[in-house]
Amino acid sequence: MRSAICFAVLVIAALTANTAQARSATLVMLNGKIWTENPRQPEAEALAIEGNQILSVGSSAAMRKLAGPDCKIIDLGGRRVVPGFNDSHVHLISGGDGLISVRLENANSLEEFRRRLGDYARSLSKGVWIRNGNWDHQRWSPAELPTHEAIDAVTPDNPVFVWRYDGHMALANALAMKLAGLDRNTKDPPGGEIVRDQQGNPTGILKDQATAIVERVIPPPPESEIDTGLEAAMHEAAIHGVTSVQQMWDGPADRYSAEKFRELQKFARDGRLTVRIYNANPLRDWKSLATAGVQASFGNPVLRMGNLKSFADGALGAETAWMDAPFADRPGYSGLASADLMDSAGMFANIQGADKAGLQISIHAIGDRAIHTVLDLFERAEREDGPADRRFRIEHVQHLRPDDAGRFKSLGVIASMQPYHAIDDGRWAGKVLGPERIHTSYAWRLLLDHGAVLAFGSDWPVAPLDPLSGIYAAVTRRTLDGKHPQGWVPEQRITVAEAVHAYTVGSAFAEHQEKVKGSLEAGKLADLVVLTDDIFRIKPDDLDKARVYMTVFDGSVIYTAVTGR
Ligand SMILES: [Zn+2]
């Protein structure tokens, strides 16, 4: 008996010592306004971090007491803090690639486009491919597609294959077409178009599946180039307070996803990742993951896999979104199902196989018919396979049948959406959709009112990797052309709190990670963002002026603004 008591005392002493040892913060942040996303303690003044985890959240006085011997103390000076942003849909490596390649996204004329390509080509050795670009001919007047003739003279020794920012078409120069064996005799592939002049010669513009004709002759990017691109992408994430991303497979044109994932692993091994990554593979490759026993969200806190991506349709801008009724400006034509969905039995077999293996499935669907069809496929899989914590996702969910809004909650399907697209597409979507259908375009209010889980992201590099501009878009719906000061389809606006929730808790849930991140509370990963302005107090119209003041990732400060408010 006595020895038992002694033993109990020893255990308690050991536990206390353990706790005392554990309760030693390495970073304490005081005097702030912390938005925790923890419903039991929604706001607080200070927090303490130990290593890469949050130790405690509370008053400045209480947190100061937790400081260990070498603890770093940061006075927040009353600034607003939110959990690290989690972007639920990015193309991280292509985004980074674009940052280190020729920058055409803000070339405002064909002349500027040509000049930048020429300058960039002169900086390269002969034969090196010029890729990426992200040009937008809608910025030019006239808004005509560029041709190879416009750029051949300034790029004589370098093959060029530069993409429009939407990822649905690219321009090849004469050298690239020659290397690809592309000429007037090449036939359009299914699902793609070779744009031709009046004589039938290719102009250099290739759309959708036709881009593969050139892509397949581009050599794999050297490891050093992927590294530099990834570094650039991580910097871009840090300055925007993005501490987690859900990396999507880029689509059929992406031939080097294995090389890219190997680079991500190298960075993770070397402790060089400053953003957490959840990687998606193509749905059609599910068997290789299933055979290896990989399930949803397998990995460690910085690098995980087990998500699968497929496409149900195209994009509204290219009028390849698959709609129930014809486009308002194209009678008799209502878009296209993707090649994958055209074989809907094959797609269902992939969904079911992957689902039974415990993998997660994310399907791109933009048009109302595409969304409806994917919901039907998910519903059937759930019915046949029985209950599971599967978290099926639809990516984009842009133009929704009103009566499908309730199915997201009833089927447990996550709406993974990118608010910035609404203020970009809202400039012209009314012309394409007509006055009725726009009422349930980017229908965040409707989806939330029906209890859906919203996960927000950017689709970078299609839109900026900047959650604050996404929040501005979700709250104001003010289109980029300034033509909708009260908001485009204002009834679908949501609040700042709802938008922040979708960028943190919603996106953590979408990757099966809500137990370890998304909110600021004891035991969770120490990822957070200090903002220049209190986004919950400033006027919604000023949200686009708010910036990131500081980013903390894994318990360390990885970015501080040079000049901040
Ligand atoms: Zn995307």
Per-residue pLDDT of the chain (565 residues; tens, 9 = 90+): 444 444 444 444 444 444 444 579 999 999 999 999 999 999 999 999 999 999 999 999 999 999 999 999 999 999 999 999 999 999 999 899 899 999 998 899 999 999 999 999 999 999 999 998 889 998 899 989 999 999 999 999 999 999 998 888 999 999 999 999 999 999 999 878 899 999 999 999 999 889 999 999 999 888 888 899 999 999 999 999 999 999 998 877 677 888 889 999 999 999 999 999 999 999 999 999 999 999 999 999 999 999 999 999 988 988 889 999 999 999 999 998 988 899 999 999 999 999 999 999 999 999 999 999 999 999 999 999 999 999 999 999 999 999 999 999 999 999 999 999 999 999 999 999 999 999 999 999 999 999 999 999 999 999 999 999 999 999 999 999 999 999 999 999 999 999 999 999 999 999 999 999 999 999 999 999 999 999 999 999 999 999 999 999 999 999 999 865 5
Q: Are 323 and 367 in contact (CB under 8 A)?
A: yes
Place of tokens 């986004």: 535
CB atoms within 10 A of CB 125: 7
Distance 338 CA to ligand 1 centre (A): 15
Question: For residue 204, what are its two tokens?
Answer: 């250099």
286 Cα: distance to centroid of ligand 1 (angstroms) = 19
**DSSP code at position 544:** G
**Cα 313 to middle of ligand 1, angstroms:** 12
- Residue 300 CA, ligand 1 centroid: distance in Å: 24
Q: Which of 285, 305, 288, 286 is nearest to 296 (CA)?
A: 305
Output the CA 96–ligand 1 centroid distance in Å.
14
Q: What is the pLDDT of residue 319?
A: 84
CA of 507 to the centre of ligand 1 (A): 15
In angstroms, the CA 271 to CA 259 distance is: 19
Hey, which bits of 397-477 come out as E strands?
Answer: 414-417, 454-456
Taking the centre of ligand 1 as the mean of its atom positions, its distance from the CA of residue 396, in whole angstroms, is: 8
Ligand 1 centroid to residue 275 C-alpha, Å: 18
What is d(CA 269, CA 309) in angstroms, rounded to the nearest whole number? 25
Integer Cα distance of 442 and 366 in angstroms: 10
Give the model's pLDDT for residue 208.
84
**Which ranges of 246-343 would DSSP assign to H, the alpha helix?**
257-269, 286-291, 339-342
How far, in Å, is the centroid of ligand 1 from the Cα of 91?
6
Output the pLDDT for position 10.
Answer: 46
- What pTM value is reported for the model? 0.90
Q: Which of 22, 23, 28 is closest to 44 using CA atoms?
A: 28
What pLDDT does residue 221 have?
A: 81
In this prediction, residue 7 carries a pLDDT of 46
pLDDT number for residue 406: 98
Return residues with CB closer than 5 A to ligand 1 (ion).
Answer: 248, 459
CA 12 to chain centre: 47
| Ligand 1 center to 236 CA (angstroms) | 17
CA of 458 to the centre of ligand 1 (A): 8
- What is the full DSSP assignment across 307-367? EEEEESB--TTTT-S--SS-BTTBTT----B-HHHHSHHHHHHHHHHHHHTT-EEEEEE-S
**Ligand 1 geometric centre to CA of 43 (Å):** 34
Which pLDDT score, from 0 to 100, does residue 223 have? Answer: 86
| Amino acid at site 529 | V
| Spacing, Cα 94 to ligand 1 middle (Å) | 11
Ligand 1 centroid–CA 89 distance in Å is 6
Distance (Å) from CA 248 to ligand 1 centroid: 6
Ligand 1 centroid – CA 309 distance (Å): 10
What's the gap in Å between 175 CA and the centre of ligand 1?
Answer: 29
Q: Distance (Å, rounded) from C-alpha 444 to C-alpha 436?
A: 17
Distance (Å, rounded) from C-alpha 103 to C-alpha 163? 11
